[in-house]
Amino acid sequence: MLGAQSAFWRLSAWSHQLAGTRIEQIDDPDLGLVLVDSDRGRVLVAYGEPARGIDALRNVMDRGVRPDRTMINRELYGALDAPLRDHFGPNWGYAWDYFWADEPLDPVPGSERVELLRAASPQFAAVAGDVRRALEQANPITDALERFDELDWFVMRAPTGDIAIVLGATQEKECMSLEGLGTVPEYRGQGYGGATMVGAVNMSLELTGYVRFGVWSWNEGAMRLYRRLGIHHDGKLISGRREPFDEARYLQ
């Protein structure tokens, strides 16, 4: 489902990244579009059916408006002609997929052992060093490292008591946004990933109305797992900008 009726648009999957003044906005069944003057420059997000999206982007281009960054669904990207691709790029990258849940997932073995450590809590302070070391081993490319102390953390321990897996979280009103999932190498392939996602989603839904997160599009294994667990897959995105993308740092 594309357009403003999609979960990606209804649940404002893009809005938490864009603090600023909205210059224009479209909320139609076949197209969601917003143009924002943000602290990151002028940003355009469009999510919709290719034919309608092309018309809207051409209108933006014909008015001489060139965003500093554009994010669109990949179905729309595939329909861009060369002038549009150049105007809203010319560089394109950071392809990712959007997942969300608003109902509890079926439990799996170990999901009841997931713990939530709130940022700035005494419980987190007591083990923050262990959590960070686990994250550095498990997912050294994640941007969550830069905001480590600001995030809440879901963790699951091995039988030894060591932290086997970590997952960062930010609670925003009725939403829990997840990021930075990583399993310590020695514990991979033992079911920690699925158990942690189920436990984290279900605990989050006790606190908020829905859960959302993104996955790099190259990570097919993770996406298969999330779909198998019953998490909704809604949205395939790609970004355009004038500067090249440093994709290599996000490849594992």
Instruction: Please determine, for residue 247, whether its predicted confidence score (pLDDT) is greater than 70.
Output: no
Task: Give the type of residue at 103.
Answer: E
Q: Output the pLDDT for position 1.
A: 75
By CB atoms closer than 10 A (0-12, 13-18, 19+), residue 98 is buried
- Tell me which of 135 and 12 has the higher pLDDT: 135
Q: Output the pLDDT for position 17.
A: 59
Q: Output the pLDDT for position 22.
A: 86
35-56 confidence digits (pLDDT tens): 999 887 999 999 999 999 999 9
Question: Are 154 and 199 contacting, i.e. CB atoms less than 8 angstroms apart?
Answer: yes
Q: Look at domain 114-208 and name its CATH class.
A: alpha beta
Q: Output the pLDDT for position 73.
A: 97
So where are the chain's domains? Answer: 7-99+238-248, 114-208
Distance CA 148, CA 145 (A): 5
**Model confidence, pTM:** 0.90
Q: Output the pLDDT for position 13.
A: 65
140-157 confidence digits (pLDDT tens): 989 899 999 999 999 999
Tell me the three state secondary structure of residue 221.
Answer: helix
196-244 confidence digits (pLDDT tens): 999 999 999 999 999 999 999 999 999 999 999 999 999 999 999 999 9
Distance CA 170, CA 178 (A): 7
Q: Output the pLDDT for position 196.
A: 98
Cis upstream peptide for 50 (omega within 30°): no
Alpha helices (H) in the chain, listed in sequence order: 7-10, 50-62, 74-77, 82-87, 122-138, 192-205, 220-229
Instruction: Please determine, for residue 86, whether its predicted confidence score (pLDDT) is greater than 90.
Output: yes
Average pLDDT over residues 67-88: 97
Instruction: Please determine, for residue 19, whether its predicted confidence score (pLDDT) is greater than 90.
Output: no
Cα of 252 vs its chain's centroid, Å: 17
